[in-house]
A and B are shown apart, each in its own frame.
Chain A
Amino acid sequence: MVAAGCGGTGRELEPFSGPDGLAGLDFVTRSLTLDPRAGGAGPRLVEVPGGLVNAVGLPNPGLEHFLATELPWLVRAGARVLVSIAGATMGEYADLARRLSRAPGVAGLEVNVGAPDEVGAGLFEVREPYHAASVIAAVRREFPSDRPVLAKLRPDVSRIVEGARSCHEAGATAVVVGNAVPAAFPDGRAGGLSGPAVGPVALRCVAEVHRSLPAMPVIACGGVRDLASARTYLAAGATAVQVGTALLHDPTTVARLRADLAADPQEDA
């Protein structure tokens, strides 16, 4: 799967996606908000050993524009579109879910309830697992039950099992374990760390969630860049993996990984 915010609008990724392009690929959009957001001021990303610190600020054209332009393109390209949503209030999440439930071609939703600095980004605060769960419940009520709602959680090992359980009970089809890890830029500005450096952190969280809740599907996200890093998560109990930062380094990563997994089919990813 393509992780939220790391596949552009899809068009920029397509040239690097092999002969089938985006066809059949699980594509999570960047997080969409009801209203357009310009994103943060620069510098938005800085390189650190083993990864990137980002404070991109969820730039997106707003739901209306997305539905009119980006979604139809993604659907035509054959992608399985999972729309990532973010809101400042529970009502906004519900509104997004309701309107997306009527949009043709939306395969499912991914609810961003684990941004590295949600308060700084003006999003609903999800410090406690029940905060995240109440957002999931609000989304689930508005979105058809035959289509998945994924809860994307922050890889915080002290809260992740509780968070995953609450979200699952609130109706999440699966949890995405892993997001950029709360971090700071060299000047102290809040941001999120991603890339290979966060792999072991997310792996610990995936393993704990799977051990405690073996029946719940877990999608791993953090530092996936090749077959070996993907297999590590699958071995720890993940049912699928998402690729984010690696695409920024090598835009062919997902195409390569899909081919490698298909050539070496131990489990379904």
Chain B
Amino acid sequence: MPVAEVRTPVHVEGEVVVTKRVGAHRHLTLTAPGVPERFRAGNFVAVSVPGHVARRALWIHRVRASSAFGPTLDVVLEPRGEGTSWLAAQPVGAKVAITGPLGRAFALPKDAVSCLLVGEGYAAAPLFPLAERLRERGCAVSLVVSATDESHLLSALEARRAVRSVTVVTADGSVGQRGQVADHVDDLLRRAGADVVYAAGPTDVLRACAAAAERAGAWSQVALESPTPCGTGLCHGCPLPVAGEDGVDRVVRACTEGPVIRGDRVRWDAL
């Protein structure tokens, strides 16, 4: 089957098979027939919340091709609004309508280059499967995970076998280096000798990474987290201002033309 066909998203009923609290986050493992099989790092799923019209977009943190439950996917929730709180409270066995995988995935380098991966909070989730793909290609991967404090940090333990080095940055200094990603990224980029920077997290982190990559003459790809009312590209509700390859400014859909996009294409001031 041609790749394009295999990658088309599906809308299915999934089921919570594992739920686990980790610090301030809730990790859910779900079945969602067809979604794990089609997944590429950087994809997300849109999930329905009863009584709500808009969907909730969640990064896919990990997929397993097989488990006691068949193929599964993991998501990381930081309960903030009604939707994420509802989802985080779902017990094993709960049914959830899931659409995915959605969005553009991270583009992988053809050669075994050196890569710096920078993720903040729960949004660092898509970098973990990316690290594995990069390692399979022989890339040297340096991973930076950051958060406001330790409880909001995604554990890099599982990623350790895929990466050459892990750096931890917390705003309060509870673990690792104290400060913001922006304070450390130039230094980290230089030490990693990175040719490509992949970033996932809040806009300020992405912008700092894109700017650092630009200064160092490296490529960057950022995974933007804009609210996506439908997630599928139908509603045009997630405007993303970009500079086109042809130099013409445009507004594209973050869910469809993104959420992963080259950092130098984003018009950060217009966001």
Contact = CB atoms under 8 A, between A and B. Distances in A.
A251 B48 contact: no
A44 B234 contact: no
Prevailing SS type, chain B contact patch: loop
Interface string B111-131: 000000000000000000000
A252 interface: yes
Contacts of B232: 8, 12-13, 16, 248, 251
B1 interface: no
A249 B48 CA distance: 7
A146 to B, nearest CB: 31
A129 B55 CA distance: 37
Contacts of B25: none
Interface in B47-95: 48, 51-55
User: Interface size for chain A: under 10, 10 to 19, 20 to 34, or 35 or more residues?
Assistant: 35 or more
Interface in A190-212: 195-196
A5 interface: yes
Nearest to A194: B53
A50 B52 CA distance: 7
Contacts of B33: none
Interface in B219-271: 226-227, 229-230, 232-239, 250-251, 256
B235 A248 contact: yes
A44 B234 CA distance: 13
Nearest to A195: B53
A250 B239 CA distance: 21
Contacts of A186: none
Contacts of A250: 11, 48, 97
Interface residues of B, number: 27
Given A43-B227, A252-B11, A12 B52 contact: no
A248 B226 contact: no
B236 A248 contact: no
B229 A248 contact: yes
A14 B59 CA distance: 23
Interface in A5-28: 5-9, 11-16
Given A15-B8, A249-B55, A42 B239 contact: yes
A45 interface: yes
Nearest to B239: A42
A15 B10 contact: yes
Contact of A38 (B234, B251, B256): B251
A51 B251 CA distance: 25
B9 A15 contact: yes
Contact of B239 (A41, A195, A196, A252): A41
Interface string B192-204: 0000000000000
**Residue from A11, A51, A249 whose CB has the most chain B CB atoms within 10 Å:** A249
Contact of B230 (A38, A43, A196, A249): A249
A47 interface: yes
A5 B253 CA distance: 14
Interface stretch (A52-60, A158-166, A175-183, A234-242): A52-60
A42 to B, nearest CB: 5
Given A7-B234, A16-B10, A248-B235, 20 more contacts: A12-B234, A15-B9, A16-B11, A16-B99, A39-B236, A41-B239, A42-B237, A47-B52, A47-B53, A51-B53, A52-B53, A52-B229, A56-B237, A59-B239, A247-B234, A248-B55, A248-B229, A250-B11, A251-B11, A251-B232
15 contacts: A12-B256, A14-B8, A16-B10, A16-B11, A42-B227, A42-B238, A44-B229, A51-B53, A56-B237, A195-B53, A249-B48, A250-B48, A250-B97, A251-B230, A251-B232
Interface of B: 8-11, 48, 51-55, 97, 99, 226-227, 229-230, 232-239, 250-251, 256
